[in-house]
A = this chain, B = another copy of it.
Amino acid sequence: MQSTYYKQLTATKLERAHTRIKPYIHQTPVLSSQRLNALAGASLYFKCENLQKVGAFKMRGASNAVFSLAEEERAKGVATHSSGNHAQALALAARLAGIKAYIVMPENSPKVKVAAVKGYGAEIIFCKPTLQAREDTLEEVVARTGAVFIHPYNNYPVIAGQATAAMELFEQAEVALDVLIAPVGGGGLLSGSALAARYFSPSTTVIAAEPAGADDAWQSLQAGKLIPQAGPHTIADGLRTSLGDKTFPIIQEHVKEIIRVTDSEIVEAMRLIWERMKLVVEPSAAVPLAAIMQSKERWAGKQIGLILSGGNVDLENLPF
């Protein structure tokens, strides 16, 4: 299994992905906080994907997938099922490409998310709020329209797009990073980041941070095979998904370790980012900092990159 992805995700393919999506994404800033560095005892470089279009790194992968399509594929549009950041990202990327997007969303999705997807001009198809209904509905939509299904993470062009956040971070940080920490849910961002490090910053160790209440990636690495997440329970709603068969082998080969953190550690880290860095981040984005704060001795004096994956939160329902 491990051997197949290389052809799809060479250094050249990652560089081409970056060139391809640059006109459509923000080169987000890398920010540091001296007060936070003092607290952590290490030098932290935060790649601010919460400031990305649609408020999350998902815009990178969606853009690369959309702008990689062949002419005849573009004519029929793209489709996905998601109520999260990928839905908005795909809708916006499709609009920028001037093609159709079909988004399957559970009928109980938050109104604000439905409005956002609609605002980007996508066609929404509602379904019952079960995974089975989502997949069935998506299948119908694809059969009916001929649209290309763009999976939120188990898709090579998506992984290549997500890799560009780490590629930029390596360029933007003023130092050689000892460590890069990314959160892991389905593994699109993590596998992309791991390949980016391998190709463009080989001295950087890539580590993942995962909520203890949705630790399928940790379980899978331990077992040496994919173990899907059953009944995830974590405030980090972006990380409740399971690894896919495309992301897992990359992670297995290139990620050194997965650190699990509790929800209270996540909320504490989120508060630090809001208070010290003045950045609105969603719980999932705080997971890497939670991993640092959990065992500070270990990171003392290190140069550490962290990806702030997104900033989409409901201000009416904050955990503090």
A277-320 Cβ-contact flags toward B at 8 Å (1 or 0): 11111000000000000000000000000000001000110101
Nearest Cβ distance between residue A309 and chain B, in whole angstroms? Answer: 12
Compute how far the CA of A51 lies from the CA of B280 in the bound complex, rounded to whole angstroms.
12
- Please determine whether B34 and A51 come into contact, CB atoms closer than 8 angstroms: no
**Residue A134, interface by CB 8 Å:** no
How many copies of the polypeptide does the oligomer hold? 2
Nearest Cβ distance between residue A64 and chain B, in whole angstroms? Answer: 19
- Please determine whether A315 and B278 come into contact, CB atoms closer than 8 angstroms: no
**Residues of B contacting A316 in the complex (Cβ-Cβ under 8 angstroms):** 320
Q: Which 5 pairs from chain A and chain B are nearest by CB? A: A278-B311, A278-B280, A50-B278, A29-B29, A315-B320
**Residue A55, interface by CB 8 Å:** yes
Contact residues, A51-92 vs B (CB, 8 A): 51, 53, 55
A278-B55 contact in complex given A271-B315, A315-B271, C-beta closer than 8 Å? yes
Compute how far the CA of A280 lies from the CA of B31 in the bound complex, rounded to whole angstroms.
14
**Residue A275, interface by CB 8 Å:** yes
- Please determine whether A274 and B280 come into contact, CB atoms closer than 8 angstroms: yes
Identify 4 new A-B residue pairs, CB closer than 8 A, beyond the known A275-B280, A316-B320.
Answer: A51-B277, A278-B311, A279-B279, A318-B318
A200-239 Cβ-contact flags toward B at 8 Å (1 or 0): 0000000000000000000000000000000000000000
Nearest Cβ distance between residue A111 and chain B, in whole angstroms? Answer: 14
Compute how far the CA of A75 lies from the CA of B50 in the bound complex, rounded to whole angstroms.
45
A87-119 Cβ-contact flags toward B at 8 Å (1 or 0): 000000000000000000000000000000000
Nearest Cβ distance between residue A258 and chain B, in whole angstroms? Answer: 27
Nearest Cβ distance between residue A275 and chain B, in whole angstroms? Answer: 6
Which residue of B has the minimal Cβ distance to A308? B278
**Residues of B contacting A315 in the complex (Cβ-Cβ under 8 angstroms):** 271, 274-275, 318, 320
**Set B271, B278, B281: member contacting A51, Cβ < 8 A:** B278
Contact residues, A7-50 vs B (CB, 8 A): 29, 31, 34, 50
Compute how far the CA of A281 lies from the CA of B277 in the bound complex, rounded to whole angstroms.
11
- Please determine whether A278 and B281 come into contact, CB atoms closer than 8 angstroms: yes
Compute how far the CA of A29 lies from the CA of B34 in the bound complex, rounded to whole angstroms.
16
**Residues of B contacting A275 in the complex (Cβ-Cβ under 8 angstroms):** 280, 315
A236-271 Cβ-contact flags toward B at 8 Å (1 or 0): 000000000000000000000000000000000001
A31-B51 contact in complex given A275-B315, A280-B279, A315-B275, C-beta closer than 8 Å? yes
Compute how far the CA of A281 lies from the CA of B279 in the bound complex, rounded to whole angstroms.
9
- Please determine whether B53 and A34 come into contact, CB atoms closer than 8 angstroms: yes
**Residues of B contacting A55 in the complex (Cβ-Cβ under 8 angstroms):** 278
Compute how far the CA of A311 lies from the CA of B276 in the bound complex, rounded to whole angstroms.
9
Q: List 23 A-B contacts (CB under 8 A).
A: A29-B29, A31-B51, A34-B53, A50-B278, A51-B277, A51-B278, A55-B278, A271-B315, A274-B280, A274-B315, A275-B280, A275-B315, A278-B279, A278-B280, A278-B281, A278-B311, A279-B279, A279-B280, A280-B280, A315-B318, A315-B320, A316-B320, A318-B318
